[in-house]
Amino acid sequence: MTMKTTMGVLAGKASHLVLSKLGRGSTLPGKIALKFDKDILDTLAKDYEIVVVTGTNGKTLTTALTVGILKEAFGEIVTNPSGANMITGITSTFLTAKRAKSGKKIAVLEIDEASLPKITEYITPSLFVFTNIFRDQMDRYGEIYTTYQMILDGAAKAPEATILANGDSPLFNSKEVINPVRFYGFDTKKHAPELAHYNTEGIVCPKCESILQYRLNTYANLGDYVCLNCDFHRPELDYKLTQL
C-alpha cells in the first residue's frame, strides 16, 4: 500500500471502531478513507470475487438471498447493509470486512444504479444481477431508459463479467451489450397474447414503438412479452421458474 492508502485505511477503521462503541453504523469510515485516497476502493476490493446487484426495486432482498445461499457454501460473505449502496458505503463495507475463514474472498454488493459507473472504476465484478427498472423510482434519476443506460455504463467497465438479467423485463432486452448475458424469469402457465393493464409503464416495443402484448404477465410490465408488429419478444430464459 502507498502511504496515503495506509493512512486512509487506518483513519477509516479508527472511525468505525468509535462508531461501533457508540452503537452506530455509518458510511462515515468510507468517506474518511476516501479523503486520504480517492482510489482506495481499488486496493480494498482487488482480491475479491464480486457479485453486484442493481436495479430500482428488489436489490436488498435479492442481495440478502444471494448472501444466504453463498454462505452455505463458502462461509463468511462480505456485503453492504441496505442504504449503504453508494461509493462511501461500499468503501466502508470493505474497510470493515471480516477475514474469510475459507480463504475465498467473496463480496455481494447492492449498488445504486447511478453510482454503478463510478464504483466499477475501482472494482471488477464477476457477475451483475439486474433486477428490474420501474418508474416509481424515477424521481431520483429521470426516465427508465436513462437509468438503464447508467447501469449499462457501469457494467461496460467490467466487460468480462456476466450479466444475469431479468428476462421478463422488455427493457433489459432492448439494447446490445458487450458483456455476456444470461436471462432468468417466470415460465408458468401461458395464454394467447393480450395487453397488459392500461396503466402499466414501459410496455412500448423498443424496436418499433408498438404496444407489447403478453402471453404471461407476472407484474406490471414483466412477463413473456411479444410485439405483434415486429420480431421483438422475450429472449430464451437460461434460468426459469416453472412452478409456484
pLDDT score of 200: 66
Q: How confident is the model at residue 56 (pLDDT cuts 50, 70, 90)?
A: very high
Q: How confident is the model at residue 136 (pLDDT cuts 50, 70, 90)?
A: low
pLDDT score of 81: 79
The torsion angles phi and psi of 49, rounded to 5 degrees, stand at -90, 125
Q: Where do the structural domains in the chain lie, given as residue ranges? A: 188-244
| Of 106, 80, 104, 98, the residue nearest 27 (C-alpha) | 80
pLDDT score of 137: 52
Q: Could you tell me whether strands 213-219 and 194-195 are parallel, antiparallel, or unpaired per DSSP bridges?
A: antiparallel
Q: Rounded mean pLDDT of the chain?
A: 90
Burial grade of 193 (CB within 10 A; 0-12, 13-18, 19 or more): middle
pLDDT score of 194: 81
| Of 81, 2, 76, the residue nearest 43 (C-alpha) | 2
More confident residue, 19 or 227: 227
pLDDT score of 17: 87
**Contact between residue 170 and residue 221 where contact means Cβ atoms under 8 Å apart:** yes
Using a pLDDT cut of 70, give the percent of the chain over it. 93
Q: How confident is the model at residue 192 (pLDDT cuts 50, 70, 90)?
A: confident
Cell of 214: 403478453
- How much is the average pLDDT of 10-20? 88
- Cα gap 243→89, rounded to integer Å: 37
